[in-house]
Structure 1
């Protein structure tokens, strides 16, 4: 693989160092921040900033494996877990590596790299660049820091700590060629990436223009189909309206006498109905209103009626008193008629008078 290996300095005053890997070989090295290129950048965390553990974790989902790893770390760490970032390594191993680093340290690394225009694909603890020995320990200098690795351990090489961990046995110092071969192998398949959970690298989604074009075509087809459905519905409604109008015209013509069906059937039928019922509201409607008002007012009755050619209905009304007569007149006016009344005269214990009822 092709990649840039960037060693994060253990201290602020230390220089940045980098290696260039191309075609499974180290082809360049230097100090300072490298220029960002098309090849991925793999950042190497200093050994004294990351605590490594190994544990047999079940092959579960990443979230479940990380939860199990936090339980393991809670038993082995004196620091509160709230301030620690826990990352789980490759599940293909019998014992999986677990990296523990302070959240603040991770934020500082990523912030500094971002200011340099670098977004590393992997942050790998420095000890995991070395090969895992079959037995004992190996030592090498990585990015200006001496690092020791055992089969299930990895740490910065400090005299007291190294003697304590190795039991006094001296680690084997690897040569330059062996170190570079191990670097090439371990960056090709990183055993542990600290960029997990809240520090995972954000995926940049490229715009799929062919997909967008297909979606645009589908949207256009949907709009055309919708428009065709609306036009078909409008045409059906128009045809139904024309059929209903033709049926109404035919029914209207059936109500006309023979020889009188020339012209607008609706207008001719209205004129005939007007002649049959009489002018104004017609005899039936006017008498019905007068009869309804008489039923509503107790003590009133209709003595005589006469329907005039002008559409007026003249009626003689008898009532128990003048108050009842006035109530009858009010009922007719509320029904929408104009009412003219004569003076009601006393007729024994009742009063009698004439009213004229017509449309206003």
Structure 2
């Protein structure tokens, strides 16, 4: 199965990986920084840049506890954190969407309330739903009714809960669904990434595109992202920042523009080296087969009419004569010409 986002076909078993640079609120409420993030992500090769659209009072109760690393993000409650970054209005997102078009990158933003989902429908080619809303069935129904592709993160969910979410979406006539493995831990330790769950999602839901939303701290080789692609992820979401050293919950475990370039290059190499699935000799191996394989070779001069014995034979390169596997078909035959020592044997030399 596949989903289609802005003329890009993303297939469950395809060779294209759709990369979402999750800007979130790493712009800090500064529209110029948000625009710069769009520009940098696009230039580096991301397919989409995604923001988050919410108002703190609609998203979290004022005493909602924090669940992140407080040494990196000092906000004491979810409400306190969200309130710091909820200053963008509809007009700001409209501006950012236009700026994305100018830079040929898809605009996305995760909505967290009814009103946000409604006005974002005019701006986005697809919806990304956060893991925390996987069990928010009324919200899923609303978004499903826009009949756009839905990228659904599955962090902290059971297979039963994923089944229920899929049924809710499909009951509204929308089957354009992608499922992203995700771990709701910020940051996610490598030992807690459990990327094998991507394989499980692919096994349980073979008809849906599978992906990965990553919260690990990126290493130089980007092993978490690379491994997720090896396991079948075809949509990758990773937090994006202009500067990993900035204070805040989503900077230190984010990728930057250099990481985007490195990952895109890794993906290109990966699919390039995969090649054909079924084992067979390749055209590039033709000369190797001819010259690197062995042929039967005379260990001594052999006169015409001599019966060939095993002691008269060895095997050497190139492979242009009788292959060693046929040695038992050669032993006991008589030669019909004189054969020189170290000469490659052919069938024409014997009766």
Normalized per residue, which structure has more helix? 1
**Could you state the TM-score of these two structures normalised by the residue count of structure 2?**
0.22
Normalized per residue, which structure has more strand? 1
Higher Cα Rg, which structure: 1
Q: Of the two structures, which has the highest relative contact order with CA contacts closer than 8 Å and spacing of 6 or more?
A: 2
**Could you state the TM-score of these two structures normalised by the residue count of structure 1?**
0.22
